[in-house]
Structure 1
């Protein structure tokens, strides 16, 4: 059973169209936490980051080893100056 975990602040839509020059220090830090345990039905969490142009720039499946463990941090760094021209989407799926 696939469950979609919607983390309101994580439907991260970051628009920074004012940046014309590439800035290697620009970063969005996504922190995933939960006040409850991950449901026992979930074996894994898939995190996908989609760029403004619709291309998938990151996709990884994390195995849930301990239902009490959920905290993780993901740094999203722009690949180039075009990456700063529109929103990104971070999606988390339970598997």
Structure 2
């Protein structure tokens, strides 16, 4: 085996990101919200770090992949001012 474990996971993530960056981050957002609870730190990091780069493309890719707008997922998974802030950032101006 050339790569295994964490190194393999890291290289596969790198390949996914290089092939289609919006799709990569859409999947990361989905993974942060699926199942029980929400990975808030992960969600915040992606939304804030991509907000001035390609969040609009990520938002479009998310809806294509998961058949539901990202904002609707945020509304279902988050609450209060935290949810409202994420929605404002995701929607942009």
Both proteins in one fold, TM over 0.5: no
Tell me which protein shows more strand as a share of its residues.
1
Determine which structure has more spread, i.e. the larger CA radius of gyration: 1
TM-score, normalised relative to structure 2? 0.26
Q: Which of 1 and 2 has higher RCO (CA within 8 Å, sep 6+)?
A: 1
